[in-house]
Structure 1
Amino acid sequence: MATYVLVHGAGDAFYWHLTEPRLRALGHDVIAPQLPMADDTAGFAEYADTVVEAIGDRRDLVVVAQSLGGFTGPLVCARVQVDLLVLVCAMTPKPGESAGEWWDATGQDRAMREYAESQGRVMGEYPDVRRDFFHDVPADVTEAVFAQPEPRMSDAVWAKPWPLEAWPAVPTRFLAGRHDRMFPLEFQRRIVPQRLGIEPDVIDTGHLPALARPDEFVARLEEYRTGGKTP
């Protein structure tokens, strides 16, 4: 059995509330630490500190990093022995690039707006959280998430350069959402090979597969862990 290390994105660890029990039911150990998002002094190095401390002396690690967690997951892999890194609808940083710089560097905004236009949607100035993140999440799950206290996120994390000099030498898989409105599939099919040298796999969800299709999501993680093939 493995230890799954679940790294949330720009939100909180409640994102994993459907994933954790499913993995535990399969006999795995699971940790899903809350990152210090509200700390005005914390950058990704401090986020990684939190995860590494939660890992302790556990072994057989599978790190799963969602969205903004793509900046934190590799830092963890550079500090502890990890068997597999799974990036989920994630941002993929370059050495020295801040999370704030990533958007313009990758052309994310244009890709997001072109995708919206192709579907006849009007984006507005900013994405709408319910419309653009939760559009395929069941209503009861959406309401459970929005019933949680709204997480505060410091702006500090966006400015600090990603501290690694190179991507860690750990087996890595990337799972992209076919209907992701934030990081569209064709965008990920361009960025992931450029930056990681691998092709993304696809799950039939939007940006939040762990909430939209938790059973299928966990099955994908297990296929990755055991070396099974995915579509």
Structure 2
Amino acid sequence: MDLPCDDVVLVGHSLGGHTIPLVAARRPIRHLVYLCSVVPRIGSSVMDQAADEPDMWNLGFIQGLTVDEHDRQVWVDLEVARRHLLADCDDTTATAAIGRLRPQADHPMAQTFPPAELPAVGCTYIVCTDDQMINPEWSRRVARDRLGAGVVELPGSHSPFLSRPQALAEVLLDLV
């Protein structure tokens, strides 16, 4: 069965929340889902937001990172990474996920979010109530005030696709 090209529900996790509205500005999207994600603020970079909205992050994650010779953030304390990204994952899943972590370039986070407005697309924000990376209170407030989005709450931490994939799949299917 061929689906219409605008029958897309796009999910952005964590920093992916800055990408999904850019996609929706360029092609038809039915619905955006912000999953434990940073929601862009028009005219600001992620770094600007972090400075202006200090309650956005749980800043404890910074102690687990260092900057490499290519100006990329690299996890050096894997226990900090686990605590902030994978807190409710079992050991096997967390170990596998940590093994896949890659450096994150600083440059994109310093770039101003380019559109003059967020796209006029329906959206939902999924908050994980024990998220140790993105502050759940910040997420609820920004979902309401910046996005006008419905909020769905799931128990757990920052990576529900790893810790409770069935529950996340059910929420996503309900949105579809």
TM-score, normalised with respect to structure 1:
0.63
Count of matched residue pairs:
161
Q: Superposed, which structure 2 residues align to 1:39-78 within 5 Å?
A: 58-78=5-25
1:64–1:85 contact (8 Å) kept in structure 2: yes
Query: How well do the aligned residues superpose, as a CA RMSD in angstroms?
Result: 2.3
1:104 aligns with 51
Distance in 2 (CA, whole Å) between partners of 1:183 and 1:124 is 10
1:44 aligns with none
1:2–1:62 contact (8 Å) kept in structure 2: no
Runs (4 or more) in structure 1 with deviation over 3 Å come to none
Report the alpha carbon displacement of residue 59 of structure 1 after superposing the two structures with TM. Answer: 4.5
Report the alpha carbon displacement of residue 125 of structure 1 after superposing the two structures with TM. Answer: 5.8
Distance in 2 (CA, whole Å) between partners of 1:76 and 1:129 is 28
Report the alpha carbon displacement of residue 106 of structure 1 after superposing the two structures with TM. Answer: 1.9
Question: What is the letter of the counterpart of residue 205 of structure 1?
Answer: G
Task: Select which of 89, 101, 119 maps to 2:36.
Answer: 89
Question: What is the letter of the counterpart of residue 126 of structure 1?
Answer: Q
TM-score, normalised with respect to structure 2:
0.82
1:168 aligns with 119
Question: What is the letter of the counterpart of residue 121 of structure 2?
Answer: V
Distance in 2 (CA, whole Å) between partners of 1:71 and 1:80 is 16
1:147 aligns with 99
Distance in 2 (CA, whole Å) between partners of 1:198 and 1:83 is 14
In the alignment, structure 1 residue 214 sits paired with structure 2 residue 165: yes
Task: Select which of 101, 126, 130 maps to 2:63.
Answer: 126
The structure in which a higher percent of residues are strand is 2
In the alignment, structure 1 residue 188 sits paired with structure 2 residue 139: yes
1:87–1:173 contact (8 Å) kept in structure 2: yes
Distance in 2 (CA, whole Å) between partners of 1:185 and 1:67 is 12
1:71–1:93 contact (8 Å) kept in structure 2: yes
Report the alpha carbon displacement of residue 154 of structure 1 after superposing the two structures with TM. Answer: 1.8
2:129–2:154 contact (8 Å) kept in structure 1: yes
Distance in 1 (CA, whole Å) between partners of 2:143 and 2:159 is 18
1:177–1:184 contact (8 Å) kept in structure 2: no
Report the alpha carbon displacement of residue 135 of structure 1 after superposing the two structures with TM. Answer: 1.0
Identity of aligned residues (%): 27
2:73 aligns with none
2:24–2:119 contact (8 Å) kept in structure 1: yes
Report the alpha carbon displacement of residue 190 of structure 1 after superposing the two structures with TM. Answer: 2.1
1:137 aligns with 89
